[in-house]
Amino acid sequence: MTKKCPKCGAELADDAQFCVNCGAKQEAILKCPKCGHINKADSEFCTECGARLKEEAKPADADSTKVVVAEPVRENAQAGNGGSQGGFQNFQMPPMPSDNGKKKKILAIVGVVVVLIGLFFAFSGGSKMTVKSNEVVEDYIRDQSSGEKKYKGKNLQISGKVKWKGQFTNSQDYGITLESRTTGGKTYQVIIAVPAKKADVVNSLKSGDFVNAEGECVGIVKQKSPTVVSVQIQAKKVNDKSVD
């Protein structure tokens, strides 16, 4: 026996509905099959170890939208800094003409402006880009390459509604799908990645709930199916709750 009656303190079996000592009705609970932790009856995931407590009904198109890989492929050793400084360090001033002083001054001014713009983008990685999940999907549908340039490595403030939620197959972390659209033989989706230790945040959401999340966009992550284009955001906040 692992639980006690909140009214009289008598020790009771986990599945007891009424106290054998005072007759008080007991709150329904769920015992984690993995670690034995006691959870509230409406929990979907264990708040101690993140294990699933209930079987989740999959949507009709779950096979085409299920997340299978959570790890992004970094293309730049400085990806944590948005990758912008590498390009700026390779910047070179255009050659200065030697036959005209006026042109030299104009080109010098242009060069200074270019440097200032480069500095702005190099050190503005902390600024947030506010966007809706359907806008991200539309940008990737138009052109995946342009979508990566626009969003990858950027800190996004992204909003949308929960389409479905579930656990990644290659880790204990969870994914919240905000957008999924099939067109031209491909399925494009936007997924918010949440660490397993924040299972309570995922538990609090249900299909159709509005979500406002903040985090770094890691771009397209690899999938088993080449027809699935999955854009992932590594969440720092979900509905103003920190998930770091």
Q: Are residues 151 and 221 in the same domain?
A: yes
The predicted pLDDT at position 84 comes to 42
Closest CA to 192 of 203, 177, 171, 210: 177
Look at residue 120 in the predicted model and tell me its pLDDT. Answer: 59
| 60 Cβ contact list (under 8 Å, min separation 6) | none
The pLDDT of 103-132, averaged and rounded, is 72
pLDDT of 2-38, one tens digit each?
677 888 888 877 777 778 788 788 777 878 888 877 7
| pLDDT over 50 at 70, yes or no | no
Tokens representing 192 are: 């918010």
Write the CA distances from 225 to 164, 173, 229, integer angstroms: 19, 20, 9
Q: Are residues 174 and 233 in the same domain?
A: yes
pTM of the model: 0.52
Residue 106 and residue 205 in one domain: no
Give the DSSP letter string of 111-171.
HHHHHHHHHHHHH-TTSEEEEEHHHHHHHHHH-HHHHHHHHTT-EEEEEEE--EEEE-TTS
In this structure, which amino acid lies at residue 72? P
Together in a domain, 176 and 235:
yes
Give how many domains the chain has, as a whole number.
Answer: 2
Check which CATH number belongs to the domain holding 70 and give it.
2.40.50.140
Helix axis angle for 144-151 and 133-142, nearest 10°, is 140
pLDDT tens for 71-105 read 444 444 444 444 444 444 454 555 555 556 667 77
The mean pLDDT of 100-122, rounded to a whole number, is: 71
> Which residue has better confidence, 137 or 111?
137
Q: Is residue 171 part of a domain?
A: yes
Among 111, 125, 130, which Cα is nearest to 83's? Answer: 125
* Residue 44 structure tokens: 């979907």
Which one-letter DSSP state was computed for residue 97? Answer: P
Cα diameter, the chain = 102
- 2: its two tokens: 């692992």
Between the alpha carbon of residue 146 and those of residues 139, 140, 150, 234, the distances in Å are 8, 7, 6, 20
Based on the fold, state whether residues 156 and 105 are members of the same structural domain.
no
Residue numbers of the domain that contains 150: 62-74+127-242
Please tell me whether residues 96 and 213 are part of one structural domain: no
Whole-angstrom Cα distance, residue 4 to residue 20?
A: 11
- 183 lies in the same domain as 215: yes
